């Protein structure tokens, strides 16, 4: 079946993936007719999975019924504490069962969840809290330790709930005093969800994404944005099956091992939303370790894993892989970082799993295109075609649409596109145009609609799925008294996709070592943003006629490292 033929079958009137057109912010938009309208409907649906396991974290196992009870209890407590529709409630913790409960308790209440990057420093977390105007913070012990010293700088933060605190708390409450520990959630009263009069276009989240100014921007997402991904994921899998020539199977509940953070749109939107609807079990690891992951896959009969190419490489290349039964793995999917065609073939040949890939961004609430199975094997450089409710186009510098095969800026539209950037009207007006989001990525589309990203947004380095904007790191380097010129670039890395590296020019008469500058950045930014290598240039860095640094000319300085 062609892509168009599969789409016609799957979206026919009365079919599960039937579409309808609604007006969103003045723009007629195709939407999934059968998608849940909002988070509260999704959480109510999840309760019907009863004693099916929702999450596994180490030795903690939480059923869907127990999770629902905890969500209802925390939502009631937030409302009693004065949280109203539209209030921002921040969430800062590692992937814990409490993360899911907190996120849904916030959103079913009509409040706006602000999941903060758990890898951020205290200053970066404080920025997210201040910028979003969060009045309540739900954090784990480690994140609270980073934020607590800065509490005086956050007068708008009136309440803090901390999970798994190891020591007495000052200025915060224990989350366990409200909902208990995960093992006890099954014994909570069977409360009801609040009646928040939710609508699909109500604001649900602020997810932070780096911007070209170096400061993160908050992408303002709606309930519809997230509900769209539930059917987009199912649609993409069904399209792949039809394209293969197989009949569509009956729905079944799966087990997934998730090793990417929930504060990312990929894990949150592409992963968690669909799992809640279908009753899948998600296993979370405190930290990814290949042997531990293979033990879990064997013991729990895991059906899918991935997240970024790094995970697949570590499983494939581990010397002890053959000691474990990984035969339950059906799919290994990833996005957020480029991957080698070699990886696609190895997943299919050595793990006997279907490789999967896709393209999206925070501004698209994750999934716009998907790529899996035979399609991916045949076009390993592509990120797949758009799902049926989304449109893609490639434009020239003046915004004119280009024909298939030509490279230009990729634009995307559909019900997954966020409303804009939180409190940044100018950036919103520049990026979001008549329902389209200008991605900044350079791409081409083939005749069948398969998308090929040929370059990424200017100055962005994607390290194992983490976005690093050059300007943010460059600004920190410029603050060093010895640095007068600098640039951050991405250098290839086999498993991470790429890593950040810097080139600097020092002021005459000054000195600075690679280790010193790396420590300088590490003290001011999250660890994943620290350049893995720094080269020193005797002259000012090369620039074009407009004064822009010619970063392509600098990559040869790291050829020795790439070769190694």
pLDDT range class, residue 521, cuts 50, 70, 90: very high
Q: What is the sign, positive or negative, of the torsion defined by CA atoms of 286, 288, 294, 297?
A: positive
Q: Is residue 216 in some structural domain?
A: no
To the nearest whole percent, how much of the chain has pLDDT over 70? Answer: 96
Whole domain around residue 171: which residue ranges?
A: 62-198
pLDDT range class, residue 345, cuts 50, 70, 90: confident
pLDDT range class, residue 546, cuts 50, 70, 90: very low
CATH number assigned to the domain comprising residue 470: 3.30.300.30
Shared domain for 362 and 239, answered yes or no, is yes
Q: What is residue 313's predicted lDDT score, i.e. its pLDDT?
A: 80
Shared domain for 271 and 417, answered yes or no, is yes
Q: Which of 436, 455, 474 is the last residue of a domain?
A: 455
Shared domain for 10 and 87, answered yes or no, is no
Task: With a cut of 90, say whether residue 342 has pLDDT above it.
Answer: no
Q: Could you tell me the two tokens for 272? A: 């968690």
CATH number assigned to the domain comprising residue 163: 3.40.50.980
Shared domain for 321 and 445, answered yes or no, is yes
Long-range CB contacts (< 8 A, 24+ apart) of 5-11? Answer: 6/238, 6/239, 6/242, 6/243, 7/239, 7/388, 9/242, 10/235, 10/238, 10/239, 10/242, 10/388, 11/388
For the segment 402-420, the average pLDDT, to the nearest whole number, is: 96
Q: What is the sign, positive or negative, of the torsion defined by CA atoms of 526, 527, 532, 536?
A: positive
Shared domain for 73 and 169, answered yes or no, is yes
Instruction: Report whether 2 contacts 413 (CB < 8 A).
Output: no
Cα–Cα distance for residue pair 402/444, rounded to 1 Å:
9
pLDDT in tens, 290-320: 999 999 999 999 999 987 777 888 898 899 9
Q: Is residue 204 in some structural domain?
A: no
Shared domain for 443 and 472, answered yes or no, is no
Q: Is residue 49 in some structural domain?
A: no
Shared domain for 230 and 363, answered yes or no, is yes
Q: Is residue 427 in some structural domain?
A: yes
Shared domain for 134 and 227, answered yes or no, is no
How many domains, in total, are found in the chain? Answer: 3
Cα–Cα distance for residue pair 213/206, rounded to 1 Å:
18
**Stated pTM of the model:** 0.86
Q: Which of 455, 473, 505 is the last residue of a domain?
A: 455
Neighbouring residues of 338: CB distance < 8 A, sequence distance ≥ 6:
309, 453, 462, 497, 498
Task: With a cut of 50, say whether residue 123 has pLDDT above it.
Answer: yes
Q: Is residue 159 in some structural domain?
A: yes
For the segment 84-94, the average pLDDT, to the nearest whole number, is: 97
Q: Is residue 119 in some structural domain?
A: yes
Q: Is residue 55 in some structural domain?
A: no
Distance of CA 173 to the CA centre of its chain: 29
Shared domain for 148 and 237, answered yes or no, is no
DSSP three-state, residue 293: helix
Shared domain for 156 and 256, answered yes or no, is no
CATH number assigned to the domain comprising residue 335: 3.40.50.12780
Shared domain for 172 and 228, answered yes or no, is no
For the segment 315-336, the average pLDDT, to the nearest whole number, is: 90
pLDDT in tens, 204-261: 999 998 544 467 899 999 999 999 999 999 999 999 999 999 999 998 999 999 988 9
Q: Is residue 70 in some structural domain?
A: yes
pLDDT range class, residue 545, cuts 50, 70, 90: very low
Q: Which of 137, 165, 198 is the last residue of a domain?
A: 198
Shared domain for 315 and 414, answered yes or no, is yes
């Amino acid at each position: 079946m062609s892509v168009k033929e599969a789409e016609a079958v799957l979206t026919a009137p009365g079919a599960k993936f039937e579409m309808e057109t609604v007006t969103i912010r003045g723009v007629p938009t195709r939407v999934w007719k059968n998608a849940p309208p909002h988070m509260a409907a999704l959480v109510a649906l999840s309760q019907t999975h009863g004693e099916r396991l929702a999450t596994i974290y180490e030795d903690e196992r939480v059923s869907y019924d127990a999770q629902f009870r905890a969500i209802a209890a925390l939502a009631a407590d937030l409302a009693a504490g004065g949280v109203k529709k539209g209030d921002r409630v921040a969430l800062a913790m590692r992937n814990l069962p409490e993360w899911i409960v907190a996120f849904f308790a916030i959103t079913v209440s009509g409040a706006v969840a602000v999941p903060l990057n758990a890898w951020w420093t205290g200053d970066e977390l404080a920025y997210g809290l201040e910028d979003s105007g969060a009045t309540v913070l739900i954090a784990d012990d480690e994140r609270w330790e980073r934020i607590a010293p800065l509490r005086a700088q956050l007068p708008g933060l009136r309440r803090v709930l901390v999970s798994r605190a190891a020591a007495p708390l000052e200025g915060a409450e224990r989350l366990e005093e409200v909902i208990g520990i995960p093992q006890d959630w099954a014994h909570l009263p069977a409360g009801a969800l609040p009646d928040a009069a939710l609508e699909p276009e109500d604001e649900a989240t602020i997810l932070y994404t780096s911007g070209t100014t170096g400061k993160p921007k908050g992408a303002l997402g709606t309930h519809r944005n997230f509900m769209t991904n539930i059917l987009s994921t199912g649609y993409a899998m069904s399209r792949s099956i039809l394209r293969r020539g197989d009949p569509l199977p009956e729905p079944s509940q799966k087990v997934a091992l998730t090793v990417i953070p929930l504060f990312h749109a990929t894990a949150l939107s592409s992963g968690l939303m669909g799992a809640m609807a279908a009753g899948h079990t998600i296993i979370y690891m405190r930290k990814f370790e290949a042997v531990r992951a293979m033990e879990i896959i064997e013991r729990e009969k895991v059906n899918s894993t991935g997240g970024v190419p790094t995970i697949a490489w570590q499983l494939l290349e581990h010397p002890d892989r053959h000691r474990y039964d990984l035969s339950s793995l059906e799919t290994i999917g990833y996005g957020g970082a480029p991957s080698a065609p070699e990886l696609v073939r190895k997943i299919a040949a050595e793990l006997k799993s279907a490789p999967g890939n896709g393209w999206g961004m925070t501004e698209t609430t994750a999934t716009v295109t998907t790529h899996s199975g035979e399609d991916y094997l045949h076009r390993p450089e592509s990120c797949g075609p758009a799902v049926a409710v989304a449109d893609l186009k490639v434009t020239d510098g003046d915004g004119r649409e280009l024909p298939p095969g030509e490279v230009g800026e990729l634009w995307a539209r559909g019900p997954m596109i966020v409303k804009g950037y939180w409190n940044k009207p100018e950036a919103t007006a520049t990026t979001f145009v008549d329902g389209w989001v200008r991605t900044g990525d350079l791409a081409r589309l083939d005749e069948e609609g398969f998308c090929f990203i040929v370059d990424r947004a200017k100055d962005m380095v994607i390290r194992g799925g983490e976005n690093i904007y050059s300007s943010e790191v460059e600004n920190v380097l410029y603050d060093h008294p010895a640095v007068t010129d600098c640039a951050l670039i991405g250098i290839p890395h086999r498993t991470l996709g790429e890593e950040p590296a810097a080139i600097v020019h020092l002021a005459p008469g000054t000195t600075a070592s690679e280790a010193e500058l790396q420590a300088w950045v590490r003290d001011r930014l999250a660890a994943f943003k620290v350049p893995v290598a720094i080269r020193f240039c005797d002259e000012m860095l090369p620039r074009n006629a407009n004064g822009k640094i010619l970063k392509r000319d600098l990559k040869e300085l790291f050829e020795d490292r790439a070769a190694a």
